[in-house]
Each structure stands twice: as C-alpha cells, then as structure tokens.
Amino acid sequence: MSSSGFDPFTQMRGQTRAVPPPPLEQAAFEASNNAVAASLGQGEDALLDAVVTVWARADRIFDTIRATPAYVLGTAPAACRRGCGWCCHQKVGAAAIEVLAMSRALAQRPVERAMLADWAPGRPCAFLKDGACAVYDIRPLKCRSLWHVDVRHCMAKYAGLPVSGTKTDPTFRSEPKMIYEGALKGLALTLIKEGRDCPGLDLMPALRAVIDDADAVRRWWTGDSPFPAQAVVDWFPKPVKKKRR
C-alpha cells in the first residue's frame, strides 16, 4: 500500500497481487506518487514539472543502488554503454503524460524536433544518433529501465541482426527494471486514480501527434485524447470515472 492509501497493484485490471511489491519498486512508486499528487490542482505546467521530478527521483534511487557493492558484485554487469543503442530499434513505450512532458521540453530544441519530423514508421527511434540518445535527459522511464548483460542478445532481439557464436544471454538487471517500473506506476496510476486517462503509448507516433499542438495538454486533461488510437498500448486500466474541469 502506498503512503497515499492507494494500492496500485490490486487496482490493475485483471490483477491481484498476493505479495507486496519489492522494496525498490515500492520506493520508486511512492517517490513518483508523491510528486504527482503534490502537483495536482496547480495547473498543467506543474503536472509536467512533476514528470521531470519523477524522472529525477527514479534516477536518484537507481544512482544510489548502483553505487552499492551489492549491485556491483551481485550479478553480471550490464553491457550498456554510450554508443550502444540496439534497444532503441524496438517500438518505444512511454506514458501519455511523459509524452506531453517531452513535447513541452522539445519546444526549445529545434534539432531534436527536426529529428522527430524526419522519422518514419519502421525506423529506429528518431532520437537515436550515432548509437546515443539525443534526448537522454528527457527520455521515458521505459528507456531508463532496460539494462541488458549481453549486447548480442539486444542486437538479435531488438535490431533483428544475426549473431553467431555462443548462445545469447537474455538476462537484464532487475534493479533498474523495478525502480523505473515502480516510478511509471506511481506516475500513471496516480493520474488514473484522479480520473485522467494515462495509457502507455507508442512514443514516435504519439509524440509526432502532439509536438505542434499547443492545446494538447489541456485537451488531454479534459479527457479529449490528443493521441491517435493506434498509438495506444494497453498497459494500464482506464480511469474509473472521468473528472471534467
């Protein structure tokens, strides 16, 4: 149960959870939940600011954990490095409110806006440049969560490249997964509890739909989705009741 009294895990559609979530997931959930809850009633900019706070708080939790001997010595190290972006060849997911926060930030970043405009379906993420993320500071929680131990697995799974030699290892580090998934639930489910629809979205088409729409946040807030239906990924339940301002 979160500090807000909202148990996200039994609220998920079709799911009950007999055991509490792992502490890392719960800590990230609460950090995220608190940031979003504190922003409610303070306008759309405050809510988008809360998304930035959620990203930063989850990063801080992960930075703390990854500095511990238990993390360093516990299991196989992740292969992730700057310049290694095979995971960015898959369809990228983001919560609706993250897409809106990215869109606001990109208003001041013409180079990255041009990258997005050049993207076409079937291509890797528009922001992948020379194997690195051009929007690293504002990338979605899903992007932050993936830390694989065998890059050859990523090359085969996400980029469809043939890899030879020994069998690839699909293992990923569970700590960032727990932290960023917890933060994602704290972000989206807190809004859903408030009556706002916050589905998971396919980032590229969702972001392109709102990047030039100055009214997108207000429309989303009042229940008029600015996102194309094809971009919706069914991660979260619908709000029980929709509030209207």
DSSP states along 107-174: TT-HHHHHHHHH--TTSSPTTEETTEETTGGG--HHHHH--BS-HHHHHHHHH-----SSPP---B-H
C-alpha distance across the termini of the chain, in Å: 29
Q: For ligand SF4, which stretch binds (CB under 6 A), given 7-15, 66-74, 123-131, 237-245? A: 123-131
Query: Is there binding between residue 84 and ligand SF4 (CB under 6 A)?
Result: yes
Residue 57 to residue 24: CA distance in whole angstroms: 12
For ligand SF4, which is the closer residue by CB, 137 or 212? 137
47 within 8 A of 54, measured Cβ to Cβ: no
Whose CA is closest to 237, among 8, 12, 2, 9? Answer: 12
Distance CA 113, CA 77 (A): 34
% helix, strand, coil for the chain, step of 5: 50, 5, 40
Q: Cβ(132)–Cβ(82) under 8 Å?
A: yes
Contact residue for ligand SF4 among 28, 39, 103, 148 (CB under 6 A):
148
Figure out which of the listed residues 27, 48, 61, 125 binds ligand SF4, where binding follows CB under 6 A: 125
Per CB under 6 A, the segment of 58-66, 114-122, 140-148, 186-194 that binds ligand SF4 is 140-148
- The least distance separating ligand SF4 from the CB of residue 14, rounded to whole angstroms, comes to 28
Contact with ligand SF4 (CB under 6 A) among 12, 40, 65, 79 = 79
86 near ligand SF4, judged by CB under 6 A:
yes
- Which of 129, 124, 120, 133 lies closest to 158, judged by CA? 124
Q: Smaller CB distance to ligand SF4: residue 17 or 81? A: 81
Interface with ligand SF4, residue 139, by CB under 6 A: yes
Burial of 191 (0-12, 13-18, 19+ CB in 10 A): buried
Q: Which of 6, 55, 127, 227 binds ligand SF4 (CB under 6 A)?
A: 127
**115 binds ligand SF4 per the rule CB under 6 A:** no
CB of 151 to ligand SF4, least distance (A): 4
> Does position 80 bind ligand SF4 by CB under 6 A?
yes
Point out which span in 6-14, 32-40, 63-71, 86-94 binds ligand SF4 (CB under 6 A).
86-94
Site for ligand SF4, rule CB under 6 A: 79-80, 84-88, 92, 125, 127-128, 133, 135, 139, 143, 146-148, 151, 154
